[in-house]
Amino acid sequence: MTEPLNGKTYADAGVDLEAAASVKNTIKGIASVTLNSAVVAGPGGFGGVIDPDPDGDTLLVASTDGVGTKLRIADALGRHDTVGASIVNHCINDILPAGARPLFFLDYIGLSRFDADKIAEIVSGLAKACAESNCALLGGETATMPDIYRGNDYDLAGFIVGTVRKDALLKPENTRAGDVILGLASDGLHTNGYSLVRSIFDTDMDPSVLAVNVPSTPNTLGEMLLRPHLSYLDAIGPVLDKIRGLGHITGGSFYKNIPRALADGLGADIDISSWSIPPLFKFIQETGRVEDQEMFRVFNMGIGMAIIVEPGLEQDVLKSVSGSFRIGEVVARPVGEESTRLIGL
């Protein structure tokens, strides 16, 4: 990686990560008054955890998210199935860090006018991803609101509920200094950082740039940006009983998401030389002259999931999880310091 100066930032594209974190803390405080004795884990984690029956052995884990401005790329290319798959898989990956498997999924589609073909294409992507993960597409809401959405604008959000046995719940407090952090590769941006990419390439004004070939790949920029968010359920499901934690690398990248899987007083040292940065991210950085630090705060940079495992089980997990590799370790780190350090940045 290089470190160019005065390049594009996420804030320039209209997304202020610090402001977002502040707002989320405010929301967390407001929501705290609603949390009752059934809540095992509330706002702040990847998914909320509820105990629906104190005498039972199963917990419910829920999460919700949206596709973001990846939808603008889908609209520019006239292809809407991969965004459906993306939101399902994103939500699945957000309940996995609790050790949960998906039970059912609900969607929300809001648009300016009823477009049967577009809706069918979106829902086909939702259904395909749900079927692949044995998750029921239980229902949803399709709202036509011309005073809210304009022209071809639409929004897509998802809501998921999964289950985990009480004795199998993955909790941040289970992690220890000395634990190993393994990585699983992403397949592009997944569902984060699109506002910055759209700003860099000015795709709204000139969508023809989406037909440009990404250097060192056989694919166009548009093809790579529309790739579905990967689900890690099949890869990680068989070893959930052998790991201590998971960090889904989404918005905020390593700095935000690995700490969510760690106990207080712990941090992560990530060796960025342990994997090769995919060509798409290099193309984005060089075109936008984006600084290294900003790239690693916005994008997943080729790692979609971090797996935290005790040292004695590292080799077992590496053998069981195809494509996994060591990217760092858990370390003691005082509260108040930046929890994640990227070695080599």
**Tens-digit pLDDT profile for residues 203-225:** 999 999 999 999 999 999 999 99
Q: Could you tell me what percent of the chain has a pLDDT over 90?
A: 84
**Could you count the other beta carbons within 10 Å of the beta carbon of residue 145?**
12
Domain boundary at 117, 138, 169, which?
169
Is residue 145 in some structural domain?
yes
Both 203 and 239 in a single domain? Answer: yes
**How many residues belong to the chain?**
345
Determine the structural domain holding residue 216 and report its residue range: 173-343
At 269, which CATH number? 3.90.650.10
pLDDT on residue 7: 82
Q: Are 155 and 109 in contact (CB under 8 A)?
A: yes
Q: Could you tell me what percent of the chain has a pLDDT over 70?
A: 98
Mean pLDDT of 280-296: 97
Is residue 11 in some structural domain?
no
Residue 5 has pLDDT above 70, yes or no: no
Residue 170 has pLDDT above 50, yes or no: yes
Top pLDDT among 311 and 39 is at 311
Residue 2 has pLDDT above 70, yes or no: no
Q: Tell me how far apart the alpha carbons of residues 244 and 246 are, in angstroms, rounded to a whole number.
A: 7
Counting the structural domains of the chain, the total is: 2
pLDDT on residue 27: 82
- The angle that helices 279-288 and 194-201 make with each other, rounded to 10 degrees, is 50
Residue 241 has pLDDT above 50, yes or no: yes
Mean pLDDT of 263-280: 97
Residue 184 has pLDDT above 80, yes or no: yes
At 85, which CATH number? 3.30.1330.10
Token pair recorded at residue 268: 């992560």
Q: What is the mean pLDDT of the chain?
A: 94
Q: Three-state SS for 158?
A: strand
Least confident of 30-34, 48-52, 231-235, 299-303: 30-34
Least confident of 11-20, 27-36, 224-233: 11-20
pLDDT on residue 23: 82
Q: Tell me how far apart the alpha carbons of residues 109 and 197 are, in angstroms, rounded to a whole number.
A: 24
Token pair recorded at residue 263: 């106990």
Q: Per residue in 94-121, pLDDT tens?
A: 999 999 999 999 999 999 999 999 999 9
Top pLDDT among 200 and 39 is at 200
Both 290 and 272 in a single domain? Answer: yes
Is residue 217 in some structural domain?
yes
pLDDT on residue 4: 46
Both 194 and 318 in a single domain? Answer: yes
- The angle that helices 81-95 and 70-77 make with each other, rounded to 10 degrees, is 160
Both 177 and 165 in a single domain? Answer: no
Number of H helices, E strands in the chain: 11, 12
pLDDT-derived band of residue 274, with 50, 70 and 90 as boundaries?
A: very high
Both 60 and 141 in a single domain? Answer: yes
Both 164 and 46 in a single domain? Answer: yes
Both 236 and 331 in a single domain? Answer: yes
Domain boundary at 138, 153, 169, which?
169
pLDDT on residue 6: 63
pLDDT-derived band of residue 146, with 50, 70 and 90 as boundaries?
A: very high
Q: Per residue in 18-52, pLDDT tens?
A: 777 788 788 888 888 888 998 898 887 899 999 99
Is residue 225 in some structural domain?
yes
